[in-house]
Amino acid sequence: MDSVTLEDTTLRDGLQSEKIELTVEDKVSLFEMLVNAGVRRIQVGSFVHPGIVPQMADIEELIRQVKAPPEVRLSALVLNSRGLDRALKCGMKHMNLSVSASDTHSRKNVNRSFEKARSEMIALTKQAVSHGMAVQAGVQCAFGCVYEGAIPEEHVLTTLQYLSEAGAGELYLADTSGMAHPRQITRMVEQVHHHLPGETLSLHLHDTRGLGLANIIAGYEAGVRGFDVSTGGLGGCPFVKGAAGNVPTEDAVNLFARMGVDTGIRISGLCRIVEWLESRLGRTLPGRMCRVLQHGALCD
């Protein structure tokens, strides 16, 4: 049976733009529920300035409190060497970093031009690798930008190449603005496989225009076996108006289960998390499978 790896980003991409901040205890509970549902790769948060992203201010305490079984891989987002130092002090072994291929989005997101941010991320990758960390590095706005429109493919490909040469063991393409369509995904994945053969590539797809699952299928058919997801579809982007979260974890699990592809994750466990999140946040999340299950349909 073929299989894919779904990396859950609820604790990081999901919570970072929420007005309601969960307590550390709540985040630990969320982490444990994800593990119990069968999720094996979990992004726990970001080592960013607590004044800018207060939702992530407690990441050290969260990492101290979670007890991850050996088969579960924790990772966190790092944007600069100060963040890297904090991650190293916490004993983190995996880090995510990214650079936006859109100059305008980069300036809004990290207050730096694309070129400057890219140089810094290349240096940060080398620094992390020299400390024995495994780095997953990606390109944001890889399929277009709400400010700039189309993004030149060569920007994306050369950035991935530089990050790979700097020591990133895994690469990803992020559809930050939710503008990608399936044919574009197919073409870009083929380009990456052609220019960077043998690299492990995953996709981080926001569902802003409702094309998330279609784009996942296109990526899968083109050979991608790793996808970022967010339980309930929680998330957005503070710098992209109207942005939706990543593809809901439970809907991606259902998609692959229906296609006969193993994820190792149980939808029923995820739906308990969706109900729990909805009660904490006081609103309904966009994922579909929780609603299906609540109406008594059989899953798993």
Report, in Å, the least distance between residue 259 CB and Zn ion: 24
**Taking CB under 5 A as the rule, does residue 175 contact Zn ion?**
no
Question: DSSP E strands: which ranges in the chain?
Answer: 5-8, 41-47, 73-78, 94-100, 134-140, 170-175, 200-205, 226-229
Q: Which residues of 190-212 are buried (b: 16+ CB within 10 A; e: fewer)?
A: eebeeebeebbbbbbbbbbbebb
Q: Which of 8/13 has CB closer to Zn ion? A: 13
Query: Is 271 considered catalytic here?
Result: no
CA 250 to chain centre: 15
The single-letter DSSP state of residue 22 is: P
Report, in Å, the least distance between residue 281 CB and Zn ion: 18
Stretch that binds Zn ion, among 7-15, 56-64, 180-188, 279-287 (CB under 5 A): 7-15
- Concatenate the DSSP letters of all residues of 178-211 into one string: S---HHHHHHHHHHHHHHSTT-EEEEEEB-TTS-
Q: How far apart (Å, rounded) are the C-alpha atoms in residues 95 and 119?
A: 17
Q: Which of 141/293 has CB closer to Zn ion? A: 141
Q: Would you say 23 and 61 are in contact if contact means Cβ atoms under 8 Å apart?
A: no
Q: Which of 98/127 has CB closer to Zn ion? A: 98
Per DSSP bridges, beta strands 170-175 and 200-205 are parallel
Q: Which of 8, 13, 58, 170 binds Zn ion (CB under 5 A)?
A: 13
Which residue's CB atom is positioned nearest to Zn ion?
Answer: 13
Stretch that binds Zn ion, among 5-13, 42-50, 114-122, 250-258 (CB under 5 A): 5-13
Report, in Å, the least distance between residue 206 CB and Zn ion: 6
Question: How many chain residues are in contact with Zn ion, going by CB under 5 A?
Answer: 1
Cβ count near 243 (within 10 Å):
18
Residue of 145, 237, 271, 290 with catalytic role: 237
Q: Is the torsion defined by CA of 40, 166, 130, 102 positive or negative?
A: negative
Report, in Å, the least distance between residue 279 CB and Zn ion: 24
Stretch that binds Zn ion, among 11-19, 76-84, 98-106, 191-199 (CB under 5 A): 11-19
First CA to last CA distance, the chain: 16
Report, in Å, the least distance between residue 234 CB and Zn ion: 11
Q: Would you say 186 and 221 are in contact if contact means Cβ atoms under 8 Å apart?
A: yes
Stretch that binds Zn ion, among 8-16, 70-78, 193-201, 268-276 (CB under 5 A): 8-16
- Token output for 147: 């400010």
Q: Which of 147/272 has CB closer to Zn ion? A: 147
Q: Which of 127/202 has CB closer to Zn ion? A: 202
Report, in Å, the least distance between residue 208 CB and Zn ion: 10
Q: Which of 13/250 has CB closer to Zn ion? A: 13
3-state secondary structure of 295: coil
Catalytic residue numbers, as ranges: 237
User: Contact residues for Zn ion (CB under 5 A)?
Assistant: 13
